Structure 1
Amino acid sequence: MKKIIWFFVIIAFTSCKDDTDCCVNLEPVNVTLKFTHNWDGTPVTASNFNSFNYVTENGESVSIERLRYVVSNVNLGGESKPYQLVDLGINSGFEIIFNNVAQGVNNLNFTFGFSDADNIDGVYQDLNTVSFNVPGMLGGGYHYMQFDGKYKDTNNLDANFNYHAIRAVNRSDPNNLIFEDTSFLVNLGNIDITNNATIEIKMNIAEWFKNPNTWDLNQLNTVLMPNFEAQKLISANGKSVFTLGDVLQ
């Protein structure tokens, strides 16, 4: 009787060990993050630039001429990438590849722009080359986003907008600049990864103009970088811009 009992104990122990090994020793997989862009669900690519294809929440008709932005500290599970410049106009930076992602549930998050700790003036040579710097009179460092185009003003004439996001700076006293970190964390939640995968990250460009602040381009159009309050409004609107799209695996 004792031999029979020990036989079943050994079988049970061996079975548990095998189950554990099969779950713990899964091979890591490759994951590609893919940024896509839309205006309230309508895809936006560089081919759509320079035409008045879109209408803001406030009712202004707009055309897009440039859209490029930085995401940093891109984290998927235990893997991390320092930063990426996404440039819609030249179809660049859309993909971030992770080659060693553990299978299972992984959290996906990143920072829009650079946190103060990473927003160090002059250190990113590729960003220097493409003029993504912020002038020293505004505290240096780097843009978070350069979003430029035209809108139809109240006289239905073409007018420029430069919706640029940077670290907010109060220049009331030029000798004592006051900064506020207006970068923000985008957490797209937990994703169950069971194979090589492509994960879509969607930017709804329309959200920059509507949530929670309805943006009036007739009031806030250019010279937004030195506007301390405008930069905080941009940051608030950006928090609803990115969402998780399709996960293909």
Structure 2
Amino acid sequence: MGQHATVKTYRSLQGELANAATRGELFLQYQPIVDMSEKIIGMEALMRWDSAEYGQIPPAQFIPLAEQSGAILYMGDWALDEGCQQLQQWSRIPMAAEWTLSVNVSAHQFNTAHFVDYVVHAVQRYGIAPGRLILEVTENVFLNSTSSRQQDGFRRIREAGVGIAIDDFGTGFSSMCYLRDLSVSRIKIDRTFIENVTENKKDQGIVVAIVMLAHALGLDVVAEGVETAEQLKFLKTVGCSAFQGFLFGRPSDVSEFLCSEFL
């Protein structure tokens, strides 16, 4: 009986996702990215779902559902559009005008035929300044990046002034070819390497290697999941220059960070 109820709820959630955006149930929260002086230099947009029937559903639950059902395509387009609108608003606020905004993009979304055009048109429609919008993708996006269509897509995205960040770096596809051959602009060190970095020698070695690799290739590097002053101190010592995590703020409405930035 319990299993039947779980399956029923699963299917119901999938059905609810199909119209979540049109019902106004999706929203974005923002988590700051800071520099060496701990000043905000950008935000990551994180999708949230407040279902009228089920309440707030954790991303770890609804994102896999969206991937499986195909709803991630329209949800991803919605998030990109919302993010570009936010960047447009920030451009009118002097202290936020230079912030970047990172928007997560799934492999399924990235590989659709319309995606590159959608990104380029969104940048043009909202007048996004070059370098302000960053697409965060995981390494599995690059599994089929040898095709001429994919490589042309990366080129067009970069020509539109949009950055590409590798999220959760070091946990997925291990080939370095995409860093050499494709227009990646940022590496994000996965939080699993940061959690015990002050005690674990292997994690320390991995973080140092990633930072050195990023510097050698001229890429920005951001450490994710920074929660303690000790972690931050180590990361600064080894040359990491940007940081994200609960130490600097939990995901929330962007107005909270704007208020704190101006006080």
TM-score relative to the length of structure 2: 0.28
Q: Which has the larger radius of gyration?
A: 1
**Which structure would you say has the larger RCO, counting Cα contacts within 8 Å and 6 or more residues apart?**
1
Structure-1-length-normalised TM-score: 0.30
- Compare the two structures and name the one with the higher helix fraction: 2
